[in-house]
Structure 1
Amino acid sequence: MLWNREEKYTEIPYERESELEDAVNEVKDALFGSTRIYLDDKKKIGQKGGTNNLPDGYLIDLTNKQDPKIFVVENDLASHQHLKHIAVQILEFSLAFETSKVKVKNIIKEMLQKRADKWRKCESFAQKNGYENVDYLLESIIHKKDSFNALLIIDELGEELETVLISRFKFPVEVTTLKRYKSDSGKMLYEFEPFLNEVAEDTEKVDISDIDTIVIPAREDGFKEVFIDKNCWYAIRLNSSMIPKIKYIAAYQVAPVSAITHIAEVKSIEQWNDTNKYILHFTEPAEKIRKVPLGTRKGKAPQSPRYSSRDKIIHAKSLEDVF
């Protein structure tokens, strides 16, 4: 229940997938932000006689000027679908996508052409970032290596499903939960975290295209026993679509040190012990750097993994320069 002095809001579970789809469309601007375009036309992809699927939509992500992406979107209800079904559905999307890239591009282009404002947004992005036109922009996104990305929007995410999505796929799968609540007077509230919100918070001081480092908070015992002695760091939650960008890991030692003190090059990122978290192995022992102290704004101290760039950290005077 959500409550204030005026009204109480009770959770209203979705009975049908179409209700979740309506909710996504209701909150899409706040959910995805101004640099992403959500297209919800349902068009079958895949080759005739091969794997065919009907995605619930596509998300064009223009946040990273150097690496725009397209996510194939699946809306599902946890109560109606077994996790095996969801995993198989996403796998089939990837197979259909890879075998029909020309068809996917044409489908997305047709959707954009029916939405003049969305077309203009893509056209503006293309002009500003060296693409001849929208057609070439879509071509470049879809035909590049490892171009498939999936987005699962679900009403409730269990740890088991999240673990399966990490362990079964080599391509990025982002997951967003969306719940709805209704007051006695009929007003609706929606509960969600904006898409890749953790990344958005860290791009105030560093462009998303420059991100190459994950900054982790470390207590004294864990820092020495793991980060220094074992040349790794584990049990980290990461956005799957950000993993290819991570080249370094930096350690922020919590109070009384209260500073970033070491940085290491990342050799590999793997699932951690059949969980929904990851372990990062270092190429070599961490390098001690000039301390980057907390500074005057105590709210900048990382409480969980944060994204930044090695160059930004090396030249920072305080955490206020990092993120």
Structure 2
Amino acid sequence: MSAAHTALPRRRLGPTGLLVPEICFGGGPLAGMPAAFGYDVPAERAVETVRHVLRSPAPFLDTAAGYNGGEGERRVGRALAEAGGLPAGAVLSTKVDRDGATGDYSAAQVRRSLEGSLERLGVDRVQLLYLHDPEHITFEEAMAPDGPVRELARIRDEGLAAHIGVAGGPVGLMARYVATGTFEVLLTHNRWTLVDRSADQLIDAARAAGLAVVNAAPFGGGILAKGGAAHGRYAYREADAVVLDRVRRIEAACDHHGVPLAAAALQFSTRDPRIAATVVGVTRPERVADTLRLARWPIPDELWMSLEGLAAPASHWQH
């Protein structure tokens, strides 16, 4: 039996009690967002990819209301409908988003966002619901008694979401949300990778506060899977010369040990005991099995020692 079809051990997702595989498949690229990812994904191919995820040893999907105006959730919903609903043992997370046209991120918008998600996904509740990209409003606005965080907690209290989390970028701001005691899961992205270690202290803080940590975008948007020559963008924008140089040096170290760059980038996250699951975007059905093979690729300790000093300087991290 190949590594791609071997059952993955489940990890406890912190206080949620959910048992999840170490790999979670992300729905951002599947939504068809060329402005963010540099390419489009046809709807039928995306749905077929979701079918493969649901049948894989890692049936864990993450999407969001804001991915291409809800198109990401619609594509996931099509696959779920064909499967007769979420299969036993599968885990689905989505995210409430601000209004893409007006920027509204009020409590009412959180409620509308959830209602749209439930309709598009074809479910009556979700297992895990994140507050998505709260950096677009102030922390004070988010935490107001009549604000979006309180509404998210109310949604959990009503049973429409079993568990809630916060998913965003800036590590200082995310640390403030972690410290509120409201959330069960932190999702950080592009900030704990082979080249960017911005989220190190944030991850420690989340674990100390009892939250589960989900780490997204271990490939930095593609450069740590395809290499600097093939993909010059990190975290959805052009990578600077220092980051590109470090990626090339990381590539060379991997080549020396006969290890695919993508395997090292993925396992940098999955081997971290603080991280419950790692979110990887895929855009083709065959990439599901490919990702699971990368997660099991043998990597010698000597390579990890070589890679330790190759991260970009802190001045070139996302923060």
TM-score relative to the length of structure 1: 0.26
Structure showing greater relative contact order (alpha-carbon pairs closer than 8 Å, 6 or more residues apart): 2
Bigger strand share: 1
> Rg bigger for which structure?
1
TM-score relative to the length of structure 2: 0.26
Bigger helix share: 2
